[in-house]
């Protein structure tokens, strides 16, 4: 069997998660949904609940705000398909952890880039070793305004670079626009 890495990107509320869920369901019966979001407030809790209601009850969920590759390696019996939703929050979590650890001063950008690089390396190494389908969802941040804060600009750059790395490795890349999937890379 040929295992596939699919990258689904697009703007906020473009239909990325729904489309990724449809793709994951089509790739196999046993799906593991890796959730990187944390319910820090009521609005985020509602978003998480909406995502949970949409998913089939047979899907398993792994909540992993960081260390996704390591957490996947630690599982007993990996599923056929892993759906990571989303890379955007994984990168944000890494950046915010570094900012909390060292402050927003000099060196933050390099430290956060190392942390994000480790996350991506672990995830992609797991994918290469596991022999499983991997669907990754991420926001496209390169078409918006330049963030007014330094932290926002660091995030935009980190996520843009992470998206490029995943897209380069992916077998398929889908760009979501107003709920419509546009395949920009095919096997």
Active centre residues (catalytic): 51
List Cβ neighbours of 99 (8 Å cut-off, separation of 6 or more). Answer: 108, 112, 151
Round to whole Å and give the CA distance between 109 and 137.
23
Local structure of 157: helix, strand or coil = helix
Buried b (16+ CB within 10 A) or exposed e, 85-98: bbbbbbbbbbbeeb
Give the largest Cα separation in the chain, rounded.
48
Local structure of 27: helix, strand or coil = helix
C-alpha Rg value of the chain to the nearest Å: 16
């Amino acid at each position: 069997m040929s295992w596939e890495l699919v990258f689904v990107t697009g703007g906020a509320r473009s239909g990325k998660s729904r489309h990724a869920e449809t793709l994951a369901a089509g790739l196999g019966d046993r799906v593991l949904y890796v959730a990187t979001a944390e319910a820090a407030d009521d609005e985020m809790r509602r978003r998480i609940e909406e995502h949970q209601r949409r998913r089939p009850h047979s899907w398993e969920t792994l909540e992993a705000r960081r260390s996704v590759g390591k957490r996947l390696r630690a599982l007993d019996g990996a599923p056929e398909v892993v759906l990571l939703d989303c890379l955007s929050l994984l990168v944000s979590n890494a950046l915010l952890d570094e900012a909390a650890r060292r402050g927003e001063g000099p060196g933050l950008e390099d430290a956060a880039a190392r942390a994000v690089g480790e996350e991506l390396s672990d995830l992609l190494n797991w994918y290469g070793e596991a022999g499983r389908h991997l669907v990754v969802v991420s926001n496209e941040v390169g078409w918006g305004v330049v963030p007014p804060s330094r932290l926002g600009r660091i995030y935009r750059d980190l996520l843009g670079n992470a998206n490029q790395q995943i897209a380069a490795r992916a077998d398929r890349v889908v760009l979501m626009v107003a709920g419509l999937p546009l395949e920009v890379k095919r096997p």
